[in-house]
């Protein structure tokens, strides 16, 4: 699977280890930066580039990393078509894919050990979307809003 990855200075070292792990596991990893450690870098451009690449590359997934993962998730989610989820446990990583068809996972490099953070990414990448009708419907509602349809969705039976 192709994986688009990006980080900031707080996740730079972790992302290098993660990329090596993912490549060893057979994934085709595209690194969207930064290409060197800079304590003053700004994550939005890197995370937006990774998000744009995921949207332009059907079937691929993305990983964005920072100190907490919060800002990186927010930046990636500004890209139309990205559904980025912050994973902080194996269950949240799996549910992001299973229920939300998330296509980007955000991880906080300062929040987890390297082994635990790698496990979060592995769980995210391995989990398929459930295709359950209720999840498809909800994702469709979010997508409609994202495309400018501001009609309020209603729940079935309402």
Determine whether 112 is an active site residue.
no
Determine whether 99 is an active site residue.
yes
Among residues 9, 13, 21, 99, which one is catalytic? 99
Among residues 4, 27, 32, 72, which one is catalytic? 72
Per-residue buried b or exposed e for 36-74, using 16+ beta carbons within 10 Å of the residue's own CB: eeeeebebeebbbbbbbbbbeeeebbbbbbbbbbebbbb
The beta strand positions in the chain, using DSSP E, are 2-7, 28-31, 61-66, 84-86, 104-108
Token digits of residue 91? 């269950």
Catalytic residue IDs = 72, 99
């Amino acid at each position: 699977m192709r994986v688009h990855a990006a980080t900031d200075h707080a996740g730079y070292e972790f992302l290098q280890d993660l990329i090596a792990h993912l490549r060893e596991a057979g994934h085709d990893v595209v690194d969207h930066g930064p290409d060197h450690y800079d304590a003053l870098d700004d994550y939005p451009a890197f995370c937006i580039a990774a998000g744009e690449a995921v949207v332009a590359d059907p079937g691929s997934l993305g990983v964005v990393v920072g100190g907490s993962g919060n800002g990186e998730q927010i930046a990636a989610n500004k890209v139309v078509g990205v559904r980025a989820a912050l994973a902080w446990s194996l269950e949240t990583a799996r549910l992001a894919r299973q229920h939300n068809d998330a296509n980007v996972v955000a991880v906080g490099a300062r929040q987890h050990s390297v082994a635990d953070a790698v496990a979060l990414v592995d769980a995210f990448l391995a989990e398929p979307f459930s295709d359950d009708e209720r999840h498809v419907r909800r994702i469709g509602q979010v997508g409609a809003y994202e495309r400018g349809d501001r009609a309020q969705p209603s729940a079935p039976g309402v």
